[in-house]
Amino acid sequence: MNTNPIYLALDFPRLETAEAVARKVAGHIGGLKLGLEFFCAHGHHGVHEIAKIGLPIFLDLKLHDIPNTVAGAMQAIHVLQPSIVTVHAGGGRAMMEDAKAAAGEHCKVVGVTLLTSLDESDMAATGIGGSAHDQVMRLADLAHSSGLDGIVCSGHEVASVHSQWKDGFFVVPGLRPADPHGKGSHGDQKRTVTPRQARDAGASVLVIGRPIARAEDPVAAARAIEGTL
């Protein structure tokens, strides 16, 4: 896998736009993340087109269903040869075990713990007690014991998870570059850190979208973030 930990999130409704941005910054990133919006809009064809750029593909589909269905979905994307695929750790042990068993030989399966758009008030509203940190740690332990390669978590929890899962593969989204003026927008993310902070805490992959993809100069933005790592 590419040694550059930056994976660009290509969350664009138009395939041509996603492809153009990805080609511009390809020399300054390590991979490309295609999420649910992209996959629903463009399907296998879109993934194949983006894969022609020559970077590892991270399919962030957050699969969450009964074990047999998730295993079938994993088998259906073998042909796309993704480097990373996400499932929801909340789907339980059997689902995660089956997802990993059905994955391609060179595909890392990582469990989504707690979405970075959620905080403890959101957790409480869905009946989950305790802190965000505690919930992430519980699901990280479950993902580890289920045989997954790693987890997705925010930069606030990655150091704690890394201390208990030394060889885990940790994907950190919700990253925002340091703003010297303190005016950077976090969008819909509630638990953010900088790319450097996440990397220092043990992140294997840094998922960055808007700060690069929506920048006036995506290449300059990617180079600036790359230069902090």
Which residues are catalytic, by number? Answer: 62
* C-alpha–C-alpha distance, residues 117 and 68, integer Å: 29
What's the angle, vertex CA 175, arms to CA 46 and CA 169, rounded to 5?
75
Q: What is the 8-class DSSP label of residue 175?
A: B
CA 156 to chain centre: 15
Q: Kindly state the helix (H) or strand (E) to which residue 163 belongs, with its residue range.
A: helix 158-164
* C-alpha–C-alpha distance, residues 131 and 18, integer Å: 36
* C-alpha–C-alpha distance, residues 149 and 107, integer Å: 9
Q: Which residue has the tokens 């043990």?
A: 202
